[in-house]
Structure 1
């Protein structure tokens, strides 16, 4: 099994992962509610995000992922499921340092999002960062 090396690899990873997400009973409805019929656009953004994070090809993503997720009704169990599906998809398709990096980055990102969301909720919805 090979490591993540190209944009084609990232497309495979993202497409398969979001295929699982869309079918998932816990997190699928949250994504469908937010994304609606704009899955092609969302997937393109995710390709560019992971390309920027993992490949040394320059910056292709220019967004703020936290801002997009802040208003969503997502909690620890949602992040756990998201990370589980991400890990399953990575392990099925890739093995190597960049695959490990993809998992580690997703794990850290999920943790930071949870901490920020919890802080905002504790402050009655006001941003504290």
Structure 2
């Protein structure tokens, strides 16, 4: 766990979640490993994707985002075009954590990193299990 940095506030609600998500995905778009996946293969519509990701993380963090989609299915539809392995998820996680650490510090920042780490571990395993059933 990280000590509270006097110059950084904690993630307290939608404003901070939005800042994390927008900053993170700005970095994803230009990242040499993740950018081509999101921009060229999946062809993310960023203006519509970002509010969904804010909604998802508000739900994960505070229970008030109203996200009701299935993240596993959202990732599954791209597995035939993109090999989504543990290394890609780890790179995603490293970038996500560094974004949080640069912007915020505190118990909720730590919680967001913990929950993202759980997802980065669970999603590739669930994708692999799903593919083995097919």
What is the TM-score with the length of structure 2 in the denominator?
0.84
Structure 1, gaps ≥5 residues long: none
Corresponding residue of 2:100? 90
Q: 2:17 aligns with which of 10, 14, 17?
A: 10
Q: Where do 1:86-125 residues align within 5 Å?
A: 86-123=96-133
Moved over 6 A (4+): none
Query: Is 2:22 aligned against 1:34?
Result: no
CA contact (8 A) 1:35 1:42 kept: no
Q: Distance in 1 between matches of 2:131 and 2:69?
A: 23
The offset of 1:59, in angstroms, is: 4.4
Tell whether the 8 Å contact from 1:6 to 1:55 is kept in structure 2 after alignment. yes
Give the aligned partner of residue 70 of structure 1.
76
Once the two structures are TM-superposed, the CA of residue 79 in structure 1 deviates from its matched residue by 0.3
| 1:45-60 → structure 2 map (5 Å cutoff) | 45-56=52-63, 58-60=64-66
Distance across 2 between alignment mates of 1:2 and 1:55 = 17
RMSD in angstroms over aligned alpha carbons?
1.4
Unaligned runs of 5+ in 2: 1-7
**Length-normalised TM-score, structure 1:** 0.87
> What CA distance in whole angstroms lies between the structure 2 residues aligned with 1:101 and 1:10?
12
Looking at structure 2, the residues matched to 46 and 93 of structure 1 have their Cα atoms a distance apart, in angstroms, of: 18
In structure 2, what is the Cα distance between the partners aligned to 1:54 and 1:119? 27
